[in-house]
Structure 1
């Protein structure tokens, strides 16, 4: 019996111990389950799609690789010879850029050619301006070369400074449209339909034009004998009394005095190329961050555009090599663009957007433009509201060219504080329409950033609203940049650095750093300004009201605030589909502000919230349709005022609808209504 008790006790203890061991093990041992190779692959994809590739330490390595010598060499080649759009030299440079980008390691590089109608002078019959009378015959004819001979007392001009010699001639285009005038609205490819001559004639400028230097202008202005101009019209040419004209001074031009202009320009259909280089994105290759600059120039073009091209070449060199020698590759595709025929009317970029319209509307995130990198020493920037903080953020990372221990933002902030505005925070303005970003934002609703380094208007107040003295002249040479504007190419380093930081941030950030609330701030400020400036009272006198637009703006604010709250949710960054939806909403927000038929009387500008004024394509403002329709309203006839009032009524309704649609677009995506 004793043995039985002992055995029973041992067996019972063993069973009890086994139960305890089993139960304890069940709750304490790590749980594991075999995961199939297929599931492991899916988890790896989710992990890759939700990884944030933006790295502040990594971008510092890129900035350290920006080479002034490299950019100097690029500029030397780019500005070696004049390269008018469609010329052999410009097409050579397109091929040279293509070969360089291929060598730098971009995944795809194409040279896309368009047939464009361009205007050229006739070397055998140069354009002439003459002043003559019956008594003396020929009194004056314009200079046909820029010889750089300095007038007495004006020795402080190029090549001793950046000021323009008296023979300098600013070239430009008098064509006010965008794109090839023969193919409005569609790309100028081989075999496409081109408008007939009678339609073309209505699109081209009908008034003959020929620019001259201020030495020649002094002769013509000095021969005029009308009333003196108002004080604020007075120019700065020494020895000239500025008069309104109407007749000539008989002591300077006697019997039958006449001023003649002979223009022998000829129209030619020429090939002008865009160069398109792609660094393929690893996670979202169908989303594009675009960076561009035009290539053609009115002369040597060392400032406009080749300073911008030189820094872009450096950005491509650094990122191409990085993608081919490290594990880094951008999350989204980065597309680099060298435009042709910008100077003739934004032709290369317009043809590109017309050619790839559907892809760009669906896939483009932002276009960053740097037409001119260096024309002075102080940054000037433009952008659409949702991204206007991106450049400011980048300046806090890029070092100052004047003190490498200081960020560019610190320099810029200190410089801004010296002004009369009382504002110490640097300002990014709304984009105008004078460069290649125009069609992206105003026709397609793609957000844009545009920047350049301009003359210091604290030092040179007369240059605040002007580019730079040698703009579009034959004195835009390599020596001007190398010896006067940017010795050491430190300002070029700023441009390349800004493009690297902004480009990589927009290409690598998991969540696009766009802020829709900035549109609310802009719209609210503009509507409030309409109240204080008397515009609202004028509308009320026409039985029109801003009430419904103001209400829609507030609705947009409420929805944008909710969108920002959803964006800050931690769960978003763990869900690739939620990320994609949120990014697409803010990426395409500007598309919701497009009027299908364009602004009143301006079909080429479709953005109803921000577009240039009808009367100034180099300026931009908010709600331009209202301002344009009220322009000189009181000077119109009764019939014209009635028609204009109907247009205003319709436009105010359109604005209300667009803003409400934009608010609805930012709602939870499953909510159609």
Structure 2
């Protein structure tokens, strides 16, 4: 049995022993109830089950291992196949694929250009904005802007602010002779049938915003442009100016500074008028007919203005440096930021009977003008001839609304802002500011067409319609102060459209960092729709591609001069030889004037909408920021060289000062000739790398390029902000930029290296040394950044 048992143990049928065993013919002798076989069966069953379980565990372990090897091998083969046969892609295309944007740069530009060439709605927008009075806070202009943006598929966001402003109540100008009224100015413009606007729409007498209320009767003088040199002439000629009403012509310096100077020299009130002589060639005196029959100035046009001291303290004078976000915002005294004497604007037609009374009195000014019958004597008027000016203003907190459209980008930073204010002084405002408002809506239409094709820009874009621009950049400045930290961190560029179309000659005013990208955009823009002539060609023809300096009064002021955000402004303005005169801040700046004398088919509007949009698209779709450091540093070096010469002349014996000035000159030359040039070349190379195709297995190269791209963009973003000073300029600490700031005396032009320029003008050695030291620190930091 043992042998048999061993034989059984070796057989595959052995597990059957656990079943019932029977023999033929004797079913009862060895049945299921036998005591031997069940025990043996159980023993063998347990043994074999254990053997099988172990075998299954081993086999399962072996299968998992094989499966893992198989997966790894398959993955390796797949990656090898992909690496060998997958399409080669660039980092630029990868960005778009990750964010499901399939449009190429060429397609983006084509869609935008097609949208604006197929239809031109600028005329519709200009007529809607200018058909009624739309001062600060106007609800109808706001509603129209929002409705147009919503129609394009956008969801505009409204930001409200609450500045303290003046509202005109009444203004009067009366000429008295021997205490009798001899002339009363209407302070209104003639109503013209051609303009198709009711005269009742502009019934308010002319006024200045932020002017002081007052009722003054006094003798008067003529103070020319109201500049410091004009008052110096008056004093040198012994003219009695104290307590007099000063009659001053517009031009040369900002209106607020004219009033400020008049206050300084003891004026009791001011009249401001526009002299047709300052219109250049296009005057009645030169044989041109006045508007509406010709391009010359209409005699009754009145130039309204804000007279707060914008070059020192722009924005709400009661919240300097912080936003007026609520009606209950804490406010400071406006003293020193707005005039304390009344002022009123008046037309050339109505200033004539006043100025002619000065003929032969005082000294003859060394100037020329076109007020017929006036010989430009200073006065003062005779004791029996006096002016009475009455001005009443109510000051209150008013709600204003900025309209903001945000187009998110693949990256969440490096915002590109395009803006223009929509408020005007009266009926009209076609050239200033609503040509820009129309262009802004046209740019939005082009962007809307792109979004409908699945476009997502590389960088975010913001289109903004400001409110309160005419009163001192209120809307843009409040926004900039409210979002200052975010803007300094994220904003890349601000593009401005104020007074976009007022003549036929293209002018670009831009931070030199943007010079090259603007030229590239001009090459892609057909001038007035012509296929054979680009805006670049026109720009080259009329001004040799001149990039003019920014000005001291526009909605880019808070961005460029306060936050260090590179800014640009594009415009078609008067060529000075044949273009019709624009009636600034007058009802005659109308859509009728625009369509008859400036842009009949709104082709210039379309050209500028294309140009601005292409500049924006180039900035937002090019991976490395397309700033160029070389033009910027070259301009700074050229200006510094002029100032260096003046320092040598003023302080020839001051060795410490001269050594510092000479050290700066040497290092500045190295920075722009070597560091800036090399930096630009490296970024150009990086731009090519971002668009170069790589195989999938070369992904590590893209990672290196991406890291390099982030570093380069961060450096380019910081260049202009390196020139911000914590303390700001002397006596106007809101102006933080040490390279650009409005000229302190005029407010119109912009000074380069303003702190140093002011020190040289004042011949102040300590101030000059301080600003040289600041500049030395800044260019040292810049050199480290560029390397």
Q: What range is the shorter-chain TM-score in?
A: 0.7 to 0.9
- CA–CA separation in structure 2 for the residues paired with 1:632 and 1:244: 28
- CA–CA separation in structure 1 for the residues paired with 2:158 and 2:147: 10
Asked whether the 8 Å contact 2:458–2:620 carries over to 1, the reply is: yes
Q: Which residue of 2 aligns with 1:16?
A: none
How many angstroms does 1:520 deviate by?
A: 1.9
Q: Which residue of 2 aligns with 1:455?
A: 574
User: Does 1:268 find its partner at 2:312?
Assistant: no
Q: Which residue of 2 aligns with 1:178?
A: 314
Q: Secondary structure at 1:398's aligned position in 2?
A: coil
Write out per-residue CA displacement over residues 484-529 of structure 1, whole angstroms, 9 at most, x where no aligned residue.
2110001101110111110111111111111111222112211222
How many angstroms does 1:593 deviate by?
A: 0.6
User: Does 1:395 find its partner at 2:522?
Assistant: yes
- CA–CA separation in structure 2 for the residues paired with 1:364 and 1:406: 33
Residue of 43, 65, 80 corresponding to 2:115: 65
Q: Which residue of 1 aligns with 2:676?
A: 560
Q: Secondary structure at 1:457's aligned position in 2?
A: coil
Q: Which residue of 2 aligns with 1:540?
A: 652
- CA–CA separation in structure 2 for the residues paired with 1:141 and 1:614: 36
Write out per-residue CA displacement over residues 530-562 of structure 1, whole angstroms, 9 at most, x where no aligned residue.
355x44321435552211321341353333233
Q: CA RMSD in A?
A: 2.9
- CA–CA separation in structure 1 for the residues paired with 2:90 and 2:111: 28
Q: 1:434 to 1:562 in 2, by over 3 A?
A: same
User: Does 1:158 find its partner at 2:294?
Assistant: no
Equivalent residue pairs, number: 591
Residue of 95, 119, 123 corresponding to 2:143: 95
User: Does 1:130 find its partner at 2:174?
Assistant: yes
Write out per-residue CA displacement over residues 272-310 of structure 1, whole angstroms, 9 at most, x where no aligned residue.
1100101111x2133211101011101221111111110
Q: Secondary structure at 1:330's aligned position in 2?
A: coil
Asked whether the 8 Å contact 1:301–1:472 carries over to 2, the reply is: yes
Write out per-residue CA displacement over residues 197-236 of structure 1, whole angstroms, 9 at most, x where no aligned residue.
xx223332112110000011111110114245344x1211
Q: Which residue of 2 aligns with 1:189?
A: 325
Asked whether the 8 Å contact 1:98–1:110 carries over to 2, the reply is: no
- CA–CA separation in structure 2 for the residues paired with 1:36 and 1:77: 62
Asked whether the 8 Å contact 2:664–2:776 carries over to 1, the reply is: yes
Asked whether the 8 Å contact 2:134–2:424 carries over to 1, the reply is: yes
Asked whether the 8 Å contact 2:113–2:446 carries over to 1, the reply is: no
Task: Please identify runs of 4+ aligned residues in structure 1 that moved more than 6 A.
Answer: 43-46, 50-54, 149-155
Q: Secondary structure at 2:294's aligned position in 1?
A: coil
Q: Which residue of 2 aligns with 1:116?
A: 163
User: Does 1:469 find its partner at 2:512?
Assistant: no
Q: 1:623 to 1:539 in 2, by over 3 A?
A: farther
- CA–CA separation in structure 2 for the residues paired with 1:157 and 1:566: 56
Residue of 675, 686, 708 corresponding to 1:578: 708
Q: 1:362 to 1:35 in 2, by over 3 A?
A: farther
Q: Which residue of 2 aligns with 1:507?
A: 620
Q: Which residue of 2 aligns with 1:588?
A: 718
How many angstroms does 1:113 deviate by?
A: 0.8
Larger Rg: 2
Asked whether the 8 Å contact 1:482–1:489 carries over to 2, the reply is: yes
Q: 1:130 to 1:494 in 2, by over 3 A?
A: same
Q: Which residue of 2 aligns with 1:429?
A: 548
Q: 1:441 to 1:53 in 2, by over 3 A?
A: farther
Residue of 178, 182, 187 corresponding to 1:139: 182
Q: 1:559 to 1:651 in 2, by over 3 A?
A: same
Q: Secondary structure at 1:264's aligned position in 2?
A: strand
Q: Which residue of 2 aligns with 1:647?
A: 767
Instruction: Point out where structure 1 has 5 or more consecutive residues left out of the alignment.
Output: 1-29, 249-254, 417-424, 634-643, 668-673
Residue of 455, 458, 479 corresponding to 1:331: 458
- CA–CA separation in structure 1 for the residues paired with 2:417 and 2:718: 15
- CA–CA separation in structure 1 for the residues paired with 2:533 and 2:684: 32
Write out per-residue CA displacement over residues 34-83 of structure 1, whole angstroms, 9 at most, x where no aligned residue.
4999xx9xx99985228897724642442232256411111111111111
Asked whether the 8 Å contact 1:62–1:318 carries over to 2, the reply is: yes
Using the size of structure 1 for normalisation, the TM-score is 0.82
Instruction: Point out where structure 2 has 5 or more consecutive residues left out of the alignment.
Output: 1-74, 194-282, 691-701
